[in-house]
Structures are given as structure tokens and as C-alpha cells.
Amino acid sequence: MKSIATVKVGFLNDPDPAKRGVVAVRDIPIPELGDEEVKIKVAYCSICGSDPHVIGGIFGWAPPYGLGHEVSGVIVELGKVAAKGKLKVGDRVAGNFLHFCGKCYYCRNGQQQFCENIPEGNAGMAEYTVWNESQVYKLPDEISLRKGCLLEPTSIAVRIADKINMKVGKRIAINGSGPIGLLTLQVLKMYGATSLTIFEPVEERRKAALAFGADFAVDPFAEDITAKAMALTEGRGYDVVIDASGAVKAVAALPGIAAKGGMVLYAGMYPNSFEMPLNLYQYCYTNEITVTGFYVSPYTYPRALQLLPKMKLDPFIEKSFPIDQPEEAFAAQMSGKYLKILIECNPDLANK
């Protein structure tokens, strides 16, 4: 079967072609089906913001099994045990690309994200993938497969709401209005966030943020974000500041716009060698700010699934490429012209 994989790691936008990361279609065997597993004919796999970073090598690793984890598709086969559950052949599904063991210390301690036995996964940017039945969720009838591949990034927005202990009336700032920033904005708007502010240098994405319910959209290149934040929050700062940009040049200033007793959540993925200075006396001692992050999104998928029909998703699914055009797809992703790029893995499922 066809699968998209990283065949050379390097910066995608390097002017020297010899130094660029390269993706390509390769032929690999269809994964074997275990007793508890489900074989999915993949309809769409959307490109995550982390995928170009993987190709660029900034994390120091690349998955050996191929790219892609934001998947939707149709079940074509069930393992012996999986066939005894609620899933059936023909179900339209999406799900969690990680299979937590449920047996280790962390899984039994309510911390699945630290599971000690997560197996190596199968690629999502492929014609077929195989997941454990525990990873798979049947899509609501009103959610197309094109939208269904956004279940995984929507689960991230739900995890962010969990992590910040969201309450009605909290003042919220989000740095970056890419897919995660805009999905999180929608979720927190439902929660009753106030002074909901997006910091984003790209005008089209600021407009998108306002259309999705932001109260304010600020260009951090044109305005001083600290002065603007204080003007918008009566001089107190935001109860929660979320970085959804992953931009290392943008993150150091964020503790300075958090309110006393507030939280700064670094929700992007950053180079594994990146270190950021932090004035512990000013922020953690005097102002009691909590600085934290998170890793993946356990315990969120059932709730994210319920939210999908309530989310504005059309702007995220405007552009797609067939699986045979990976270089063009990733070039479009890197251009910033689109909120999301989708890979069409099986064209016969395009309208399901």
C-alpha cells in the first residue's frame, strides 16, 4: 500500500535543496490485524503542525513507520475480539493515534499520557492503518470524513481546557491562531472565556479568530503585547495565557501578560534543545504564576467527539491533496495560506 514517509530530515524551507527535508510516497505492507485491532481504510489524514517540524528534524527524531496521526476513515476488518464490541465493518471512524496499555503505573494512576508501554504506531498518511479498538470512535452521522480527521486536534483543545481548569469568566489570551489556537478559541468561548484575545501576526488569521469569537485580535509585530494586554484587562493581565504558536521567538514575553495567580500554558511543540529564561522571583514567587505544558490528550476523545458538530470546521478543510502529491501538500502547509492541509488517502471515500 501507499504511505507518506520522511525520507530525508532537514529544514523544509532551506534555500539549499541539498539541506531540505524530503517526504515521499513509499510502498509498505498493510499492517497485520491483531485480535483486538481494527483495520481502517483511511479517507483523510490532515497535516499536523508538528509534521513539518519532524521533517525538519528539530525534535531530534523521525518516526520510522511514516507520517500522520489526524485520521478519519472506514472500518474494513475487525479482529476476533474487536468484532465482539460495538464497532462494525462500514463504520465511519476517527480516533486517538496512541494506544495506552491500561496496565502500567501511570495508566492505573490516571496519567495515561505517561504510559510506559505505548507501542510503535502505524502511519496515518497511508491507504490503510491498523489501530487497537480502544483508539477508535464512530463519527456522528452529521460529521463528514473530511471533518472527522479533526477529532484529534479538537481533542487537544479539550485537553487545554482541562489543563487550565477552565471556569466561566476567566480572561484568556492565546498566542497564535493556527489550527490549535483557533480550535482552542472555540472551545474556551463555549466555556464563557472573557477578554478572549488572540495574538497573531498574520492578518487573515486574525480575521479568522474574530470570526470564531475572539473579542480582540492583536498583531504582535505592530503593537507591544504587554502594553496591549494590560489595556485590555484593566491592568491585571490574563488569568490564562496559552501559547499555541510553538514559535520560540514569541514565548518569552508571555509570563509578563499573565495575571497574579494566573497560568501560562505552553501548548506548542518546541525544539528539544530550546531553553527559555524565566525570572522566578518576579513570576513564580511574587506573582505566583503557574508555568506548565502538556503532552497529548488522554481522556478527551469522547468529549471532543460530542463537540465536533458544534465546532466551526469548514475553514480547516478547504484544501486537500491526493496521497501521490506529498511534496506539494507540505509546501502548501508551509506557505501559511491555509489553516489545514488534508491528505486524501483513498479518493473513493472523499464524499462519505
Question: What pLDDT, in 10s, does the model give residues 322-339?
Answer: 999 999 999 999 888 999
Burial (CB count <10 Å: 0-12, 13-18, 19+), residue 36:
middle
Name the percent of the chain lying above pLDDT 90.
Answer: 80
Eight-state DSSP code of residue 255:
G
CA distances from residue 201 to 198, 313, 317 in whole angstroms, order as listed? 10, 22, 22
3-state SS class at 330: helix
* Edge-to-edge strand list for the sheet holding 238-243: 216-218, 194-199, 171-175, 238-243, 258-266, 290-293
Alpha-carbon span 24 to 81, nearest angstrom: 35
CA distances from residue 243 to 60, 160, 181, 258, 268 in whole angstroms, order as listed? 22, 11, 8, 12, 6
Q: What's the pLDDT score for residue 238?
A: 98
Average pLDDT over residues 310-323: 96
28: amino acid identity, one letter = I
What is the average pLDDT score of the chain? 92
Question: What sign for the dihedral angle of Cα 92, 94, 97, 103?
Answer: negative
Tens of pLDDT, residue by residue over 248-285, are: 999 999 999 999 999 999 998 888 888 999 999 999 99
Name 8's bridge partners.
22
